[in-house]
Amino acid sequence: MLGLGGLNSQGDMPLNADVNVTSLVDVAFVLLIIFMIAAPIMQGGVDVELPKVAARPLNSKSWRTRWRRLQ
């Protein structure tokens, strides 16, 4: 017969099938804190200077004639 925290009939300790989630909770809290600190920093953004482009769009007719020439 299995007692509370005691030995079973063969003298062995009973199996413990509980999952230890303490480390999982610790990692989740650390990630939460990191994202709470990083989110306001990322809201500011980064200024990027893009080059100016002087191009005109192709009309659909000239695109089709160029495609037919390539085929």
Confidence label for 21 from pLDDT (cuts 50, 70 and 90): confident
Cβ contact 2:14 at 8 Å: yes
Cβ contact 67:61 at 8 Å: no
Q: Which residue has the tokens 């005109």?
A: 56
What pTM was estimated for this model as a whole? 0.39
Would you say residue 46 has pLDDT above 80?
Answer: no
Cβ contact 2:11 at 8 Å: no
Q: Tell me the H-state helices in the chain.
A: 22-43, 60-70
Cβ contact 39:33 at 8 Å: no
